[in-house]
Chains A and B, each alone.
Chain A
Amino acid sequence: MASEPSLLSMSGITKSFPGVRALDGVDLDVQAGEVHCLLGQNGAGKSTLIKVLAGAHQPDTGTIRWRGEDVTLRSPIAAMRLGIATIYQELDLVEHLSVAENVHLGHEPTAAGFVVRGRAARASTAALLKRLGHSEIDPARLVGQLSAAQQQIVSMARALSHDVRLIVMDEPSAALDPDEVDNLFRIVGDLTADGVAVVYISHRLEEIRRIGDRVTVLKDGRAVAVGLPAKSTPTREVVALMTGRNVEYVFPQRPTAVPEQTPVLEVEGLAREGEFEPLDLRVRPGEIVGLAGLVGSGRSEILETIYGARRPTAGRVLVDGRVLRPGSVRAAVRAGLGLAPEERKAQALLMLESVTRNVSVSSMSRFARGGWIDRGAELGAARAATRELSLRPDNPDVPVRTLSGGNQQKAVLARWLLRGCRVLLLDEPTRGVDVGARAELYAVVRRLADEGLAVLLVSSEVPEVLGLADRVLVLREGRVVHSAPAPELDEHRVLDLVMEGSPAS
C-alpha cells in the first residue's frame, strides 16, 4: 500500500486518567475504503481511542494525520467537519425527536437561517434511509418508538448526512438479530465500495473474518498487533493477542495440595434466565477456583448473583452449609462474602474519599460504639490491612482516586481483609492494572488463599485463570463446558473450549 497517504494515521497516542494510563503509545492506520477492525478486551483502551478519534478526548501526546496532514481534533464538531463520524454503542439519539430531526440534529436545513425546513429534512432523511435499505422507517416517527436495530440505522443515517469519509462503529452488531447483521454488513460493503473507511469494533471474531480487511489489536492501552490481515490470521492467534499470551506473567507457586476441608462456598443449581444456566460449584478454604470465558459468557453475572447483587431465578448459595437469603448483598456480606467487582470505580470505590474510609466502609460498626467512630482505631486497622497488602503509598489518608489501578484494587481487597471475609469473589482483578503490578497482585491473592480464604476468580485472560487458579471451570454462553484442575489444562485447549462451535475456529 501507501504510495498514497493513509486516510487516517494516528501514532504514539497516549492518554492518562487519574490512576490509569488508558492509552500508551497507540498507532492506528486506516486506508480509504477498508474495514479496519479494532479488537480488545474491555478496558484495553478501545473506547478511549475512538473518543480521541471522535474529538471527545484530547490525547496527551501523539499525532493524528488526516489525509496526509497533521490535524488536531479539538471537539466532536471538528472531527465531524473533517468527515469522521462515530456511532457509539449507547446510541446518542434524542428519543423524543423524530427520525428526521435526529438525523439533522445540529445541521438542520433552514430557510432564512433559522426556520427549520421540516419537509426538506424528511425528504433527505428518507433518501438516506433508502440508501441504507430501510425505507420502511418513517422519517416523521419518534425515535423512541423504534426498535434498537432501527435506531442504529438512524444513527448511521445521521453519520451519512455529513460528508463522511470515516465511520467508527462501536459494537454495532451487539443489539442485532442475525438477518439485521446481514443488512449491516451489506451497508458496510456499500460504504467501503464508495471509498468510505470503516473502523469496526466487535468482540465477535467471526464477524471480523466476514467483513474485515485488517485488524489492530489493543491490550492494556497498547497496540499489540497493527494491521494484521483480517481473513488469514488464525483465530487462535488473534485471541491470544487479545488475552495476552505474549506478556510473560509470573504466578506464585501453588501449594502442593489444597487442604481437604469442607467447602465454605457451595453453589447449587444457581441460574438466571437469559444470563447463565444452572451452575454447581464448591470452593474450599485455601482454594482458588477460576471461571474462564470471553465477554458475554455470563462470568460477571454469576459472581454478582452469588453475591446477592442479582436475584437468581433458580438455585441457591450456601456458606458453611447455611443457605443465603437470595438477592441480598447484606446477607452475603454478613455470611462472609466479599466482592471485588469488575468496574472498580463505579462499583467499589468511593472516589471522593480517603483510602481509610474506602477500606473501613464495610466494617465501620467494629470501630464504633453507639454509632460513634473511634477514628484512631479505624486508621490503625486500615493501616494494618493496607500494609499487609503492601499498598502504595503507605499512607491511608490519601484520596483513593490518586492511587494507581493496582493499588486501588488492593484497597478493595483490604476492605474485605479488614472485614474478615472468608470467601473472596474476584471479577477481573487485574483490569486496568499495569502489567508490572499484576504479579504482585497475584502473589497477594495466593497468599490470602494460603491463609485460608476461599477465592472464586473470574477472568477473560486465560493465562491468568490458568496461572492463578487451582481448579478451572470453562464457560461458554452461560454454560460450564468443562471443569478440570488447572495444571491439566493448557491455554490452547481452554481457548478451543471457550470458542467451541464458532464457525471460524
Chain B
Amino acid sequence: MTQHVSPPRDSADKVPSANEAPAWRSLVFRADLRTLSLLGVLAALIVIGGVTKPDEFLDTRNLQLVLTQASVIGVVTVGMTFVITNGGIDLSVGAIVALSSVWATTVATQEYGFAGILFTAVLVGVGCGLVNGLLIAYGGVVPFIATLAMLASARGLALQITDGRTQIVTVGSILDLGERDSYVLGVPPLVIVFAIVTIIGWLVLNRTTFGRRTVAVGGNAEAARLAGIDVRRQRLYLYLLSGLCCGIAAFLLIILSGSGQNTNGNLYELDAIAAVIIGGTLLSGGRGTITGSVIGVLIFTTITNIFALNNLQSDVQQIAKGAIIVAAVLVQRRTASTT
C-alpha cells in the first residue's frame, strides 16, 4: 500500500525533474565539445605551421619527427592521466625516465643486449613506482611530497650512476629501431608504441574494472571505500602504472637518442601534467580522458616544432605554453560552472 501523502508541496519534487533530460544531454554534448575544441586548437596550429613554413612543416619527415618527439612524453602522459584521475599527482616521472634510461644503458646492462636494456628500463620504472605507491597508499604520505622526494632521489641516483657522462648505446638492434629502415609504412616504431600505449590506456580507463575503480576513488574516496573498493591497493597500482609508463618512455628515449643521460626527461613532469590538464582531466580527480591528454601532448609538441621551424627562441615557446594552459583551465572552469 503505497499511498502518497502529498501535503501542500508536490512542487518540490518537480524542481529536479524539470531539468533532468536537458542536463544529461548537455553533459554529453559538452564532453564532446571539449574534445572537439582541443582538436580545433590542434587543427589551427597545423594551419599556422602550414602557412608560415609550408614546405618544411608539412614535409613527411617533419611530421614523423613531431610524432616521434610526442611519443616519449606521450607515454608518460598516459600514466599521468591515470594518476590524476585518481586524485593524485606524480612529480617524479621525469626523474624516473632519467634513472631508467641510465640504468638500462650502463656497460653492464648493455652486455645483455636488447632484452636486457628493455627489461631494466621497465623494471627500474616499476620499482620507482612501487616505492611511490607504497609511501602514498600505505605510508600516508601525500602524493606531492612522496613523488617530490622520488624526483630528487632518482635524479641523484642517475647522476651517481653516470657520473655526469653520456652513456652511448652500442647495441645494434636498439639503434636500428631509430633508423628510417625500420619505419612501418612510414610510421616510426616509437610512434607505434605510443599508439599502442594510448589505445590500451583508453581501454583500461573506460572499459575495465580497474579504470572504474580509478575514477571512483578519484571522485569520492570515502564513498568508494564504503562501497567496498580497496582504495589503498588501487592507489598503489596507479603509481606502479605510472612507473611502468616511465620505464617504457625511457626505452623509447634510448632508441631516439642512442644514449642514456642523467639529464633525460628534464621537466617531463610539468609537460605531462600540463597536457593532462588542458586535455580536460580534473586535477581534483574523478574524471579523466586519455584522448584529451594525447591531444594535449600533440598540441604542445606541434607548438614546439612550429616555433623551432620559425627560428623563435624557446623563451617565446614557454610563454605560449603558459598562456595555453591558463586559457584551457579558464575554459574548463566556465564549462564546469555552467553545468
Which residues of A approach B to under 8 Å, CB–CB? 16, 18-21, 24, 247-250, 252-253, 307, 309, 329-330, 332-334, 339, 341, 346-353, 357, 361-362, 364-365, 368, 371-373, 375, 392-393, 395, 397-399, 402-404, 415, 434-440, 443
Expressed in whole angstroms, the minimum distance between the Cβ of B23 and any Cβ of chain A is: 5
What mask results when residues 209 to 236 of chain B are scored 1 for a CB within 8 Å of chain A, else 0? 1101101100110111111111000000
Q: Which residues of B contact A309 (CB under 8 A)?
A: 225-226
CB distance from B332 to the nearest CB of A (A): 14
**Besides A397-B24, A403-B20, A435-B5, 14 other A-B contacts (C-beta < 8 A):** A247-B5, A250-B5, A341-B226, A346-B220, A348-B223, A350-B216, A350-B219, A353-B215, A357-B216, A361-B224, A364-B209, A375-B207, A402-B23, A434-B12
Given contacts A18-B16, A24-B12, A357-B212, contact A350 B207 (CB under 8 A): no
- When distances are taken between beta carbons in the complex, the residues of chain A under 8 Å from B207 are 372-373, 375
Asked if B333 lies at the interface with its beta carbon under 8 angstroms from chain A, I say no
Residue of B nearest to A25 (CB): B9
Contact B2 A372 (CB under 8 A): no
CB-CB under 8 A from B5, the residues of chain A are 247-250, 435-436, 438-439
Taking a contact as CB atoms under 8 Å apart, the answer to whether A398 and B16 are in contact is no
Query: How far apart are A254's CB and chain B's nearest CB, in angstroms?
Result: 12
Evaluate contact between A402 and B19: CB separation under 8 angstroms.
Answer: yes
Instruction: Return chain A residues, CB-CB under 8 Å to B4.
Output: 250, 436, 439-440
Chain A residues lying within 8 Å of B16, measured Cβ to Cβ, are 18-20, 402-404
Chain B interface residue bracket vs A:
35 or more
Q: How far is the CB of A241 from chain B (nearest CB, A)?
A: 15
Known A-B contacts A439-B4, A439-B5; the reply to A361 vs B216 at CB < 8 A is: yes
Residues B212 and A329 in contact, CB atoms below 8 Å apart: no
Q: Which B residues are within 8 Å of any A CB, using their own CB?
A: 1-7, 9-10, 12-13, 15-17, 19-21, 23-24, 27, 207-210, 212-213, 215-216, 219-220, 222-230, 282, 286-287
- Name which residue of chain A comes closest to B211, CB basis: A373
Q: What residues of chain A lie closer than 8 Å to B13, measured between beta carbons?
A: 404, 434, 436-437
Contact A347 B210 (CB under 8 A): no
Distance between Cα atoms of A339 and B226 in the complex (Å): 7
How far apart sit A90 and B121, CA to CA, in the bound complex (Å)? 50
CB contacts (< 8 Å) of A329 on chain B: these are: 225-226, 228
Residues of B within 8 Å of A346, CB to CB, are 220, 222-223
Q: B200 to nearest A CB, angstroms?
A: 12
**A-B pairs with lowest CB-CB distance, top 6:** A333-B228, A443-B2, A404-B16, A398-B24, A371-B208, A350-B219
Of B2, B16, B210, B212, the most chain A CB neighbours within 10 A belong to B16
CB-CB < 8 A to A364: which residues of B?
209, 212-213
Q: B1 touching A399 by the CB < 8 A rule? A: no
- The chain A residue with its CB closest to the CB of B2 is A443
List chain B residues, Cβ under 8 A from A362. 227-228
List the B side residues contacting A397 at CB < 8 Å: 24
> B1 to chain A: which residues have CB within 8 Å?
250, 252-253, 443
- Residue of B27, B212, B213, B229 with most chain A CB atoms under a 10 A cut-off: B212
